[in-house]
Amino acid sequence: MRKKIVLALGGNALGDNLAGQMQAVKQTAQAIVDLIAQGHQVVVTHGNGPQVGMINLAFEAAARTEAHTPMLPMSVCVALSQGYIGYDLQNALREELLSRDMPIPVATLITQVEVDANDEAFRNPTKPIGSFFSKDEADALTKQGYTLKEDAGRGYRRVVASPQPLDIIEKETVKALMNAGQVVITTGGGGIPVVREGHHLRGVSAVIDKDWASARLAAMIDADMLIILTAVEKVAINFGKSNEQWLEKLSLHDAERFIAEGHFAKGSMLPKVEAAASFARSRPGRQALITMLSKAKEGIEGKTGTIIEG
Ligand code: ADP
Ligand code: MG
């Protein structure tokens, strides 16, 4: 059956440096085109941890030189990472499609995601970004409006909030491209976080979790399936312990219970299971799948991975 799929790529689909990314996107493109070849409509999203770190670091380093290059707001760093990752990914996809005689257009969409200025995440920013600063540098940056926190005796680091995604600003464009049979790469790095001020969208210093943003997008474009591709084939309970158990199916009820029992690590598997469950819960018939890139095709056929459904 032909499905509308949002495919969220994890860090291992993209590598963690320039050469690594060039190489990784080739395999990633093969796996994605396998799904398109089966007749599925695929919208691609992705993470950006190493890339946004690299971009932020480069501008931080430049800000410390005589040139006085300004530090970039996090929203701008995310926008740059969408462009950079999208550039490699769309070219790898184009090449793979053409090599299989499937001349389907591919494009990357700079995508903004609305967050609530009153999201409680802004009151307690927790996500560390970029390099370490001395106390003096930290004081100077604090005066400029940045939030810095001491990080385990290693110095000061910028921290940003991780608010919940509310709206995908460019969702109609995503739908139009998808409905025209084109492949679109969107909501990269969880999207550029913005708050609405009338007609103005103001970029804010935050990073949105890519799994949550992908689940939001999937609901908004009325996808049938959200596939979160990561480094493990299935979700486990008692992960890493002697009684570890890999799950093939996860009901919404069990997902809630296992979350409460602390089976999923914060910042890695927890947001995936929560986001997958929120999508599956959003409408009857919607399914989420968590598996690894090389197993995506088998996963859709129900042969592997962890399926989360109502
Ligand atoms: P991504 O870049 O794909 O978002 P993450 O590193 O954030 O990847 O999350 C995936 C990782 O979560 C897995 O590689 C695994 O090591 C870890 N993990 C934590 N808890 C679990 C669990 N209960 N079951 C499976 N994997 C888990
Ligand atoms: Mg992650």
Bridge partners of 87, per DSSP, are: none
Note the pLDDT of residue 78.
97
Rounded-to-integer distance, Cα 143 and Cα 128, Å = 19
Which tokens is 115 given? 């967050």
Q: What is the pLDDT of residue 59?
A: 87
- Give bridge partners of residue 250 from the DSSP assignment: 308
Q: Ligand 1, from 21, 44, 232, 248: best to mutate by most atoms within 8 Å of Cβ?
A: 232
Ligand 1 centroid – CA 98 distance (Å)? 33
Q: Is the confidence at residue 68, as pLDDT, over 80?
A: no
Q: Answer yes or no: are the C-beta atoms of 213 and 45 closer than 8 Å.
A: yes
Domains of the chain: 4-111+183-309 (3.40.1160.10)
Could you tell me the distance, in angstroms and rounded to a whole number, from the CA of residue 268 to the centre of ligand 2? 5
Tell me the pLDDT band of 207, cut-offs 50, 70 and 90.
very high
Looking at the CA of 231, name the nearest ligand.
1
Which residues line ligand 1 at a C-beta cut-off of 6 Å?
A: 10-11, 47, 230-232, 235-236, 239, 263-265, 268-269
Give the number of the atom of ligand 1 that is nearest the alpha carbon of residue 10.
3
E strand intervals along the chain: 4-9, 41-46, 106-108, 112-114, 127-133, 148-150, 156-160, 167-168, 183-185, 192-197, 200-203, 225-230, 235-237, 245-247, 249-251, 287-292, 306-309
Residue 310 — very low, low, confident or very high, per pLDDT cuts 50/70/90? confident
pLDDT in tens, 228-286: 999 999 999 999 999 999 999 999 999 999 999 999 998 899 999 999 999 999 999 99
Q: Which residue type is seen at 74? A: M
Rounded distance between C-alpha atoms, residue 153 and residue 235, angstroms? 34
- pTM assigned to the model: 0.94
